[in-house]
Amino acid sequence: MPRVLFNTNKKTFAEMTFKLLYLILFLPVLFVFSACDDTVEPGPEPAPRRPQNLAEYRLTTDGLKNYFTDAGYFDVGVAIEPRDLDNPTSVALIRRHFNSITAENAMKWDALQPTEGNFRWTNADRIVNFAVANGMRVRGHTLIWHNQTPAWVFQHNGQTASREVLLQRLRNHVTAVVSRYRGQVYAWDVVNEVIDNGSGFYRGSPWFNILGEDFIFEAFRAARLADPNAKLFYNDYRETDPVKREKIFQLISRLRAEGLIDGMGMQGHWNVDWPSSTHLIDAINRYSSLGLEIHITELDVSIYTSSSAPAQAFTQEVALRQRAAYSRFFGVFRRHRDQITNVTFWGVHDGVSWLNNWPVTGRADHPLLFDRNHNPKEAYFGIINF
């Protein structure tokens, strides 16, 4: 029989025609309703654009603490002086950008106890009270240091103080200071800069000359007793140098073994060329291998790569070079967010930096994120745009 190519049954043909028209007319409608179904998960909203320049910066109130702490990285701090609290523009900048405060000088021995037993708390109290009133954490700096310690500390009855006298003075001072701010200062730089930069192990300071290394351990013990909940740090510079790093590591390993230390303070007094990312990463990993928190405690990035370099203008070329350095350092910090819990800048703006006139008299530096007019520099925009 010949094949039947078409079914000539009228009822079957009509049914097929109806179904075809149904599909043509109603499938697009079904597709639209399906696309509008509220059970479909929306895609992620794009991250808000961060300021790229001064004009855009002035259109937002966000600051460093929003870009880093709120985003799950680390606290962002600043070292201040009482004079900064007298300047409304500085106060506004501090409130906008920082959630951690360090007293740059007001908690050092010569500021707190210039003569034996006579404590002057006014400036330190003012800084702590400002921080507390503004919901900021406080890092205490510093209890024991070879600088800014009055001469009387090391003398007694016209002679060099005995071991016993100096140890008691150390304990009295540490106990008095830490106890006063117990519950308000969450972290202390207990001992500062005791490792030698040269071939020796310890710096030859009056502390070491009279007490040997015992002053280091006794300071930490006194601080721990005065506030068991405070985090205790050893703090030093040139901390990324491989040779000095290993000496620091030996010291903090012993402190850690006695349960006397909680963190390593890497000062971060760097410049636009130094340190290398490799040395920085190696230092972070080495110190944190002991289970210690890492704080970058005194960050600034000098435009000078030599301590004797002559003064130079802060040109756009220099600004971009500094931006690249800051961006590189902060790239490392972000990648090590599980180890680094605080990054503190050593000064509010360039005009108050300790690097002005030091180490070269008359030489201005520009090492911070904000210029002398409190405006953000290229380096600021470099570190927030990631």
The pLDDT tens digits for 197-206 are 999 999 999 9
pLDDT of residue 14: 43
Q: How confident is the model at residue 39 (pLDDT cuts 50, 70, 90)?
A: very low
The domain ranges of the chain are 55-384
pLDDT of residue 358: 96
For 178-193, the DSSP string reads HHHTTTTEEEEEEEE-
For 307-362, the DSSP string reads TTPPP----HHHHHHHHHHHHHHHHHHHHTTTTEEEEEESSSSGGG-TTTTSSSTT
For residue 329, report the phi and psi dihedrals to the nearest 5 degrees: -65, -45
13 pLDDT higher than 70: no
CA distance 324 to 328: 6
Q: How confident is the model at residue 125 (pLDDT cuts 50, 70, 90)?
A: very high
Tokens of 99: 């959630």
For 82-132, the DSSP string reads GGGGG-HHHHHHHHHH-SEEEESSTTSHHHH-SBTTB---HHHHHHHHHHH
> Which residues are registered as beta bridge partners of 293?
263
pLDDT of residue 353: 98
The pLDDT tens digits for 54-66 are 999 999 999 999 9
pLDDT of residue 18: 44
CATH annotation of 55-384: 3.20.20.80
Q: How large is the C-alpha radius of gyration of the chain?
A: 30
298 is a catalytic site residue: yes
Catalytic residue among 218, 293, 298, 378: 298
pLDDT of residue 41: 54
Q: How confident is the model at residue 42 (pLDDT cuts 50, 70, 90)?
A: low
Q: How confident is the model at residue 369 (pLDDT cuts 50, 70, 90)?
A: very high
Reported residue count of the chain is 386
Catalytic residue among 104, 193, 218, 239: 193
The pLDDT tens digits for 258-313 are 999 999 999 999 999 999 999 999 999 999 999 999 999 999 999 999 999 999 99
193 is a catalytic site residue: yes
Q: Is 69 helix (H, G, I), strand (E, B) or coil?
A: coil
Query: Higher-confidence residue: 318 or 30?
Result: 318
